[in-house]
Amino acid sequence: MAAMRMREALNAALREEMERDESVVLMGEDIAVFEGAFKVTQGLMDQFGERRVRDTPISENTIVGTGVGAAMAGLRPVVELMTVNFSLLAFDQIINHAAAIPYMFNGQVRVPLVIRMPGGGGHQLGPTHSHSFEAMFLQIPGLLVACPSTAADGKGLLKAAIRDDNPVIFVEHETLYGIRGEVPDDPDHIVDFGSAAVRREGGDVTIIGILKMAHEAERAAETLASEHGIEAEVIDPRTLRPLDLDTILESVRKTNRVVIVEEGWPHGGVGANLAALIQEQAFDHLDAPIQRVTGADVPMPYSKRLEQSAIPHPEHVVSAVLETMIGAKPRA
């Protein structure tokens, strides 16, 4: 184990997979000479050369499409889009092509492509650089969606993504790049897709959070325990597709109460999706309506106060949990 930041963990994953497999190629805007807008690709051009670490023009749809074609012809490209908002320029290649090709050509060809993109608010980047689009990607059959919240998961999930034969949307959170954590040194440390992490055990309520909101959920759980005597179980699904619904349902059957936290918008969000699945599968186990805590339903504002006000914080989570606990029997 070694303590490292998220960006270093992601960098290590890229480096190790490139050392392990010659077919792994990196492409993206400013990833080589500039070493990435968030420095995730630091040092990689020096180590692997421009043949394998490629600066691209600002042409998102074509960068992703080039990744699709290269993947179809046997490479394992990892494409970096500078922010999730820029991925909107590449939706045609992501949805009409990367996601559809394996199915529409009946499995004759695979698209082992990873598309990395940082998103989320907190840096005052305003309405075109701060959003959370996990829910949009989650909706697309054919794509896998990973959302790491810790350095160890960042490394393990990225390595799993690169080795996976499906197209993967790999969402990173801009404010988590500096977060520190213990990361296994083992070059084969893989976090399997479809395996949720139970961050904290508890019997009173299940809180599900992704990316930065996994941390806010944990903070809320600490407050709930210390100030309200409520023991929350905190689950980070880690991948939204595939989804470890079984771990979530197991927890719900135990706690009978659920709060889902995400930074994205409420309509058609990750929480909306999870709430539907949970009520279908565990209706009889629910003692209260499922609560969602989401980002505000507006484009992300620039003003520091407005921006922070639009993003969920532990207080919001605590408040939602208390709402689900109304009428609950006090614990013995």
Tokens matching residue 262: 């995400």
Task: By CB under 8 A, tell whether 93 contacts another protein.
Answer: yes
Contact 237, 243 (CB under 8 A): yes
| Among 16, 12, 14, CA closest to 27 | 14
Of the candidate residues 36, 120, 142, 154, the single one contacting another protein (CB under 8 A): 142
Alpha-carbon span 214 to 239, nearest angstrom: 12
Amino acid identity of residue 265, one-letter, is W
Q: Which stretch binds another protein (CB under 8 A): 169-177, 203-211, 238-246, 313-321?
A: 238-246
> What is the chain's length?
332
**Strands of 195-236, DSSP E:** 197-200, 205-209, 232-236
323 catalytically annotated? no
Amino acid at 35: E
From 60, 80, 216, 262, the catalytic residue? 60
| Nearest by Cα to 95 from 61, 72, 48 | 61
Please name the amino acid found at residue 28: G
At closest approach, how far in Å is the CB of 95 from another protein? 10
242 binding another protein? (CB under 8 A): yes
Binding flag, residue 279, another protein (CB under 8 A): no
CB nearer to another protein: give 5 or 76: 76
**Positive or negative CA dihedral for 223, 226, 230, 235?**
positive
Q: Is 215 a catalytic residue?
A: no
Strands 232-236 and 2-5: what pairing?
A: unpaired
DSSP reduced 3-state for 262: coil
Considering all CA atoms of the chain, what is the largest pairwise distance in Å, rounded to the nearest integer? 64
Q: Considering the complex, what minimum distance in angstroms separates the CB of residue 243 from another protein? A: 5
The single residue listed with the structure tokens 């029997």 is 329
Q: Does 68 participate in binding another protein (rule CB under 8 A)?
A: yes
Among 1, 43, 59, 319, indicate the residue that binds another protein (CB under 8 A): 59
3-state secondary structure of 320: helix
**49: contact with another protein by CB under 8 A:** no
- Catalytic member of 8, 35, 129, 174: 129
Q: Which of 42, 195, 223, 279 binds another protein (CB under 8 A)?
A: 195
Amino acid at 166: N
Minimum distance, C-beta of residue 244 to another protein, in the bound complex (Å): 5
Candidates 103, 128, 180, 298: give the one binding another protein (CB under 8 A).
103
DSSP three-state, residue 51 = coil
Candidate residues 47, 96, 308, 319; the one interacting with another protein per rule CB under 8 A: 96
* Residue 114 to residue 312: CA distance in whole angstroms: 28
**Which of residues 79 and 261 has its CB atom nearest to another protein in the complex?**
79
* Cα–Cα distance measured from residue 132 to residue 176, given in angstroms and rounded to the nearest whole number: 14
* Closest distance of CB 256 from another protein, Å: 21
Q: Which of 39, 110, 228, 313 binds another protein (CB under 8 A)?
A: 110
Q: Which stretch binds another protein (CB under 8 A): 123-131, 172-180, 188-196, 309-317?
A: 188-196
Q: Can you name the residues that pair with 172 across neighbouring β-strands?
A: 118
Closest distance to another protein from the beta carbon of 6 (Å): 23
Judged by DSSP in three states, 189 sits in: coil
List 36, 102, 148, 202, residue binding another protein (CB under 8 A): 102
Nearer to another protein, 110 or 200 (CB): 110
Q: What residues act catalytically?
A: 60, 129
Q: Catalog residues that contact another protein under the rule CB under 8 A.
A: 25, 51, 54, 56-57, 59, 61-75, 77, 92-93, 96-97, 101-110, 141-142, 144, 164-166, 192-195, 239, 241-246, 277, 280-281
